[in-house]
């Protein structure tokens, strides 16, 4: 049973980010990996651009940090998400559960807390699994602008509507069978 199907309202609907305990806070992360991608900021305009280059600690198999507890010791510019940071960071993807909850919006159908399955993040096209070109320590800094991509900071096509995603998943399943 997921939190969405229990008789009590799920914690993210009744608590602010500040009121969540550590376990609740961590469970908001859907494991998409988008925050682990390198972002570039235009100093003149303040605009952010996402790349398909991941942090050196990104684990492509799990779509998670390979050294989460010590990440800021290895990666000096790693940003720890806090309620304040979530509200101030302009580069968080629009799909980020922390951002959605902070803005008073619903978690999406594919979020593991709603769906009850971690795989729905990938099925909805939100996960960066298989989309990372390189890790930041494998590419020259001056080459990062060539790796700018629109998708890291946008809503994936199938992520908003469960119906449209179902059609995509069904088509993929049929292609594999025939």
Answer yes or no: is 54 within a domain: yes
The pLDDT assigned to 110 comes to 95
Question: From CA 51, how far away is CA 37, in angstroms rounded?
Answer: 6
The pLDDT assigned to 157 comes to 85
Answer yes or no: is 5 within a domain: no
Report how many domains make up the chain. 1
Answer yes or no: is 115 within a domain: yes
Average pLDDT rounded to a whole number, residues 25-36: 96
- Per-residue pLDDT band at 68 (split at 50, 70, 90): very high
pLDDT digits (tens, 9 = 90+) for 111-159: 999 999 999 999 999 999 999 999 999 999 999 999 999 999 999 987 8
Answer yes or no: is 40 within a domain: yes
Average pLDDT rounded to a whole number, residues 93-117: 96
Helix (H, G, I), strand (E, B) or coil at 141: helix
Answer yes or no: is 4 within a domain: no
Domain of 123 in residue numbering reads as 17-177
Q: Which helix (H) or strand (E) holds 11?
A: helix 11-14
Answer yes or no: is 12 within a domain: no
The burial of 4, by beta-carbon neighbours within 10 Å (0-12 exposed, 13-18 middle, 19 or more buried), is given as: middle
Answer yes or no: is 1 within a domain: no
Question: From CA 108, how far away is CA 11, in angstroms rounded?
Answer: 15
Examine the pLDDT at 164 and tell me if it is beyond 50. no
- 3-state class percentages of the chain: helix first, strand second, coil last, to nearest 5: 40, 10, 45
Is residue 159 within 8 Å of 110, Cβ to Cβ?
Answer: yes
């Amino acid at each position: 049973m997921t939190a969405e199907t229990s008789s009590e309202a799920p914690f993210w609907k009744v608590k602010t980010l500040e009121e969540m305990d550590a376990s609740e806070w961590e469970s908001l992360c859907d494991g998409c990996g988008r925050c682990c991608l390198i972002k570039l900021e235009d100093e003149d305009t303040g605009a952010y651009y996402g790349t398909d280059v991941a942090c050196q600690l990104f684990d492509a198999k799990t779509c998670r940090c390979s050294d989460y507890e010590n990440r800021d010791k290895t990666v000096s510019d790693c940003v720890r998400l806090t309620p304040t940071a979530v509200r101030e960071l302009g580069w968080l993807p629009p799909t980020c559960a922390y951002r959605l909850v902070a803005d008073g919006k619903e978690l999406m159908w594919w979020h593991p807390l709603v769906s009850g399955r971690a795989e729905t993040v990938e099925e909805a096209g939100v996960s960066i699994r298989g989309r990372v070109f390189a890790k930041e320590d494998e590419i020259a800094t001056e080459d990062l602008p060539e790796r700018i991509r629109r998708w890291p900071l946008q809503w994936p096509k199938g992520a908003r509507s469960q119906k449209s995603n179902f059609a995509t998943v069904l088509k993929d399943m049929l292609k594999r069978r025939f």
